[in-house]
Structures are given as C-alpha cells and as structure tokens.
Amino acid sequence: MKKLIDFMKNNKKILISFTFIACIFFGFNMHSSNDPKNDKALISLLRMALTQGHYEPHAIDDEFSEGVFTRFIEQIDPTKRYFLKSDFKEFTAFKHLIDDQIKNEDLSFFYLVHDRFNLRLKEAEASYKEILERPFNFNKKETLSVDYENMSYAKSKSKLILRWKKQLKHSTINRLHEKLTSQNDKKEKDSTFKASSFKVLEKEARASTEEFMSDFYDRMNELEQADWFTIYVNSITEEFDPHTAYFDPKYKKRFDQSMSGKLEGIGARLQRSKNYTKVASLISGGPAWKGGELEAGDLIIKVAQGDGEAVDIVGMRLDKAIDYIKGKKGTTVKLTLKKIDGSIKTISIVRDIIEIEETFVRSSVIKKDGHTYGLINLPKFYIDFSKRNARNSTSDMIQEIERLKEQNVEGLVIDLRNNGGGSLKTAIEISGLFIKKGPMVQVKYRGKNATVRKDTDKRIQWGGPLVLMVNELSASASEIFAAAMQDYKRAVIIGPKHTYGKGTVQSVYDLNKYHNLGVDLGALKMTIQKFYRINGGSTQLEGVTSDVIVPTRYSYMTIGEKDLDNPLSFDKIPAVEYKTWNNYSNFNEVIASSIQRIGHNEQFKLIDKNAQWLKEAQEDNTVYLNYKDYKKDIQFIEDRSLKFKKLADYKSDFTYQSPLYEIELVKQDSLLLKKREIWHKNLQKDVYITEALFVLSELKIKPNYVAIKQ
C-alpha cells in the first residue's frame, strides 16, 4: 500500500476539470468478475487509498456509515417505488455498521439491499400489466407528488401498488396528451382526417406505457450484480467528496481523449438525475451547441432515431440511454425534453464527430463605429499528456493573440463561459500572458503548506484592455484564470454572482498496479489537492464573484458545486505577496458604468424575470392526473413561456468576422465556413457579448504604460 501512496504523491498528471467523468459521460460500470474475493479486495484497496491519499479524508466511522447507507439506498431506489417502509426499517440496522463492514471486507449490507431490491423489482414487474389492463379514469381529481426527497416509503404492498398506479397513470397521461395533440394538428391540416375517440387513444396510450415498462424491465433484468456493486462502491467514494469516484479503465481512456480535445456524439455531457438523463453541459462547437435548442438542466425523456418511434428513457441506466442518443455521423436523433421551465419540447440534432478543432481556441474580429476588437473563445484548458508536441491551449492562445494584434484590435474579450476546466499547467501559463510576472495560484496538499505557482516570464503577450466572460458552468481552471486576473485587477470579470465553485484537484490512479489478483479492478479518481487564490481565498463553493454581475436564467437556482452532495468546504489561507497591475485609468468607473447600464437594459430585465419564473417552475412538484387539469397546467406553462419568446429576438449592431488567417481557410472549406457563420450569428444575438464589448470600449490604459512584449 505504501507503493500506492508514494505513487499518488509523485504523480504529476493532475486533472482539474469539474465533470464527474464516471457519471457525466458513461454511467457506472464495473469489472466483469463477480468473485466476492475480488470485490472484497477492491473495497480494501479503496479504503486504504482514500484514507491515506485523499485531501480531506473522512474517518470511517458511524457518521461515514450513515452517509453511505443513505446514498446507496437513494441511488438504488431514488423515487421510492420499490422498497417498503419495513424494508427500510430492516436496512437501518446497518446504518452504523457499514464502517465496520468496510474495515472487515464484509459485504452483507450490500447483499441484503441488492437481493431485496431484486425481489421488489420482480413484484413490481408482476403488477404493472394488471394495472394497465383497465382504463384510467382521467376525470378523477387526482395529483401525483414528484417530491421524492421528502416522500416516505410505502407502508404496505397494497400502498406501493397504489403508488405505482399513479406513476403508470402519469406515464399514460403524457402519451395520451401527445396523441390528442398530434391528432388535433392533423385535423387542422386535413379536414378529411378521421379522428379516433378519446377512449381509443387512451387504450393506445396504455399500450405504449406497457411497452415502455416491458422494455424497462428487460433492461433492468440485464443488469448483473457487478453493476449494482459499482453503485455501492461509488456510494463509498462519494462520501469523501463528489469528484472522487471509482470507474472502469475503459472510461479512463475516454477521459484522456476528452482532455486532449477528442470528443464525439451530439456534444452534450450527460449525468444521472434521479430517474432522468440530465444535460449537465454542452461541448462548445458540437451539434447540440450549434443548434441552440438543448441547454444545461434539460431532462431527456424520449429518444427517436430519425422518423422512427421514440423510446422512453426515463428510468433507463445512463450508459444505456447514451447508447440510444449517440450514433453515426450524419444521422438524426430526436430528443423529447422536459425543459427547465417544465415545458415539453422535441428537437432534432444531426449527429456529427466533434472535431478536435472545435474544442480548441478560436477567435473573431469585431467591428463597430470604426473600432476593432478581438474575441477569443477558450472552451477548455486542454493538453495532450501522451504527446510531447501536441497542441495545447497555451500555445494556441499565444498564436491567436498575435493574429488579432496583427489586425490592430483595441481590446480583447476572452469567453470562458461553459469552460469546465482542464489542465492546471495551462491555466497558469495563460494567466501569465497578461501580466509581467508573479504568483498565479496556491496549490495545497493535505497537511502541508501551500505551494505558490508563479508566472516567471516577464514578457506580456497582451497589454491592452481585457474583459473575461464567465457563467455558472465556468469551473476549476477557468476559475483559477479568472481569479488571478481579478486579483491583479488585470481584467473586468463579467458574469453571474458566482462561477461553478470547484476548487479541488483530482488525479487518476490505475488500481491494477497494486494487486496481483489477475483481474481488472479498474481505476480511482481521487481529490488530492485544493487550490487557493493568491489573495488567500479558496474558489471552492464560492467560485469567483464577477465584477459586473449580470442576470442569467440560472440566477435563482442552485447550480454548481453547492448543488452536489458532500462538497469540500470553503476556507482561507494566508495571502501571498503580489502587486496589482494598476495600469487602467478608469477601472472602477467602467465597472460602475456597466452595472448602471445593465440595470436599465430591458433585455437583462426580461432575463431576470424569466429566471424568477424558472425558479418557481423548478419548485413545482405537483403533477395533475385529471386530464382537464393536466392540459390546463401545460397551457399555463406554454403561455408563460411565450412572454419570454422575445428574448430570442435580440440582435446587436456589432459585426463579427473571422480573423484574416481564417478567411482563406473558410474559402476552401465549406463546412468550416458554415460553422463560423453559425458562431457569428449566435454572437450577434448574445447580449452578454454586447455588454462585454461596451465595457472593453470604455477601459482606458494609462498613457505611460509600456508592455514588455513577446
């Protein structure tokens, strides 16, 4: 075990992206072995690694036991549709024993819960067909609560069947409404169309629900004990913090690909949320990002291939859901979404390979009233650890800045929105492109004094006005960069009240180096460091507070590190010595001017109202099972949504075009031309970019300032 701990201390491959890779990309998986000896060895290996190597190790005690107990049961039965109150009561005998079981390689709690779940699963499977044999009464005044967190377990099997009946009725009313809506649309287009009766459509809707349930149980029955054991293992790792996770080596390979810019699919990071597949974020440049209809927070409830029949993926395991969503380049996938405002919408996305180029730095030249500005989009802090001379975000940033300087741009906007992090090394290097030299971030191992990471190069790549744009999904390396620029007063930070708030560092360890069992035990991604601003404050939980706070659609929602279970706490350490840049003549005045301008901007006022309504919609946990009430509720949501439709009508009077070097490239590449046209069109409709450019145009450099140029 000492070999493992020493390896952890010396490993230089540090990763600070905020995504929980095992969950967001591929769901949980496990080594193929079902041998209890190997499972026990894995538990023992993880316990030693986590208690000795984790940044903030949790004592394996009764409190820890209770956390694992709660998390595992919630992940097995998140909507409380299977376990009875008596089951839960029986499980509670283990609430404060799991810590002892972990130490003794005892898996009896896992076996009890797993076996009981399989029993309840079979009982539910036996009852759903009987429930769906008879028509539902959609005239009955009835509702269903989806506040599962505060819901108690059913006291008896008969009570559980009533709960299932409501769930099946809910599923059926959704399908019934779709059929009635589709039928009405056809009647409007074709007066000769022969409509079916409500009774017939209700029967068809029940049949569709039964088909979905049959598919659901087929998928559940395909799962092996190893799949459930992985959930148990991650219930243990997540008790340390939400970014510490166990995952299969094949996912490690895909993680390395994502770090080096090699991604494919629709371009969305997905995660499990209760019974749903949730959009965590979009990949800049990907098909979903280009389409502009899919957004973070959307729940994917159905997937159809082209014009084929939609498959209901509610309750589906994440990796299985992803199998339906991904596909060959050029094919179309239709996603039925539950939007964050509660509305239901179906969109089409043409699948594509997300080229490496689309995840790299790119720039645009912006003109207005005889002035020229530069915009650089930095989607991630990328580096390819496996190739010495591979592209990285630092060298690409240097090149892009030089190209924009050749076009005499007067100021620079760097867009970090949706940038989830990446390489710590490149974050420090890029920060150094904008100041003479000095500390950039403090990195701390547990029990040790913080190490100050500095930029030692006196050369400055860009010495002009600088604005950084962030949002709630700007995380990790983005926060290091933004925090450094803010502490030095080098740039004006524009964005929400807080960025994502991830101030921890993870590293991935191949567990197979530390056993000789002859079976693949996978890998561990573990939090080993915490980083702090040069002013001493952590970015953990708090993120970076923008200089200019703008309303966003997530303004009233909990989004980011604070929304996760068991995040590490915010704290402070001593500040390091540094000198602010101090070469703006009107820094504070420009910020005050922007805040005042935003307060009077009608577009921002409407965004704020929309955000308030989205918060209300998110907190509504009642589903109507009476069809008239159900339809009325849907109409209410649609009517409210219409009030905010004009948000999409915004268009600025700035003009956007490719830099000179790219103009020749787009002439020869029609696909690249189309991509840039879409990007520039989106930029023109982006009110946040407009405000960033107003700020940039007002920032003035002191006349006696001379940058030490590259």
**Digit-coded pLDDT (tens) for 74-114:** 999 999 999 999 999 999 999 999 999 999 999 999 999 99
Print burial letters for 379-406: b (CB count within 10 Å at least 16), e (below 16). Answer: bbbbbbeeeeeebbbbebbbebbebbbe
pTM: 0.84
Residue 697 buriedness (CB in 10 A; 0-12 / 13-18 / 19+): middle
DSSP 619: T
On whether both 198 and 296 belong to a single domain, the answer is: no
What pLDDT does 290 receive? 78
Given a cut of 80, whether residue 564 has pLDDT beyond it is yes
The CA angle 158-162-163, to the nearest 5 degrees, is: 115
**Shared-domain flag, residues 64 and 211:** yes
**Distant-in-sequence, close-in-space partners of 498: CB < 8 Å, separation ≥ 6:** 472, 542, 543, 544, 545, 560
Is residue 41 domain-resident?
no
Weakest-pLDDT range from 31-35, 51-55, 416-420, 490-494: 31-35
Residue 248 lies in a domain: no
The string of DSSP letters for 394-441 reads HHHHHHHHHHHHHTT-S-EEEE-TT---B-HHHHHHHHTTSSSSEEEE
Instruction: Say if 608 falls within a structural domain.
Output: yes
Residue located via tokens 């004592």: 59
The total number of structural domains in the chain stands at 3
In order of 124, 134, 166, 414, the CA distances from 160 in angstroms are 9, 18, 10, 54
Query: In this structure, are 346 and 370 located in the same domain?
Result: no
Whether 414 has a pLDDT exceeding 60, the answer reads yes
Q: Is the pLDDT of residue 33 over 90?
A: no
Of 297, 329, 354, the last residue of a domain is 354
Count of residues in the chain: 710
pLDDT tens digit sequence for 316-342: 777 778 888 888 888 899 999 988 877
Helix (H) or strand (E) holding 526: strand 523-532
pLDDT level of residue 9 (50, 70, 90 thresholds): very low
For residue 243, report the phi and psi dihedrals to the nearest 5 degrees: -100, 0
Helix (H) or strand (E) holding 587: helix 587-600
Considering only CA atoms, give the Rg of the chain: 27
Asked whether residue 349 falls in the same domain as residue 365, the answer is: no
Mark whether 221 and 319 lie in a shared domain: no
What CATH number has the domain bearing residue 267?
A: 2.30.42.10
Cβ atoms < 10 Å from Cβ of 648: 9
Q: What is the CATH number of the domain that holds 460?
A: 3.90.226.10
Instruction: Name the token pair of 614.
Output: 């989205």
Within 10 Å of residue 126's Cβ, how many Cβ atoms? 10
Longest CA–CA span in the chain (Å) reads 84
- pLDDT exceeds 90 at position 241: yes
- Residues 69 and 165 both lie in one domain: yes
Q: Sort residue 566 into left (φ over 0), alpha (ψ -120 to 50) or beta.
A: left
- Six-digit token string for 322: 């992803």
pLDDT category at 483 given cuts 50, 70, 90 is very high
**Pick from 326, 354, 382: which residue ends a domain?**
354
Beta strands in 296-422 (DSSP E): 299-305, 311-312, 332-338, 344-350, 352-354, 362-368, 371-377, 412-415
288: three-class secondary structure by DSSP: helix
**Does one domain contain both 506 and 524?**
yes
Q: How many Å apart are CA 469 and CA 414, to the nearest integer?
A: 6
Indicate if 371 and 350 belong to the same structural domain. no
What pLDDT is attached to residue 11?
42
368 and 350 fall within a common domain: no
Helices (H), 104-156: 108-132
Residue 25 pLDDT > 80: no
Selection from 56-70, 323-337, 631-645 with the highest mean pLDDT: 56-70
Same-domain status, 410 and 430: yes
Q: What are the strands, taking DSSP E only, across 106-255?
A: 143-145, 245-247
Q: Is the residue at 281 inside a domain?
A: yes
Average pLDDT on 612-616 reads: 91
306 in the same domain as 365: no
Active site residues: 476, 487, 502
Judge whether 45 lies within some domain: no
pLDDT at residue 522, as a whole number: 85
Q: Is 36 within the bounds of a domain?
A: no
The region that residue 306 occupies, defined by phi over 0 for left and psi between -120 and 50 for alpha, beta otherwise, is: left
Residue ranges making up the domain that contains 519: 360-698
Domain end residue (candidates: 304, 328, 354): 354
Taking the C-alpha atoms of residue 520 and residue 517, their distance in angstroms, rounded to an integer, is 8
Q: Three-state DSSP class for 635?
A: helix
346 shares its domain with 364? no
Band the pLDDT of 254: cuts 50, 70, 90.
Answer: low
Q: Which amino acid appears at position 487 of this protein?
A: D
Tokens matching residue 463? 């010495």
Q: Is 223 part of a structural domain of the chain?
A: yes
Within a domain: 686: yes
551 token code pair: 């309303």
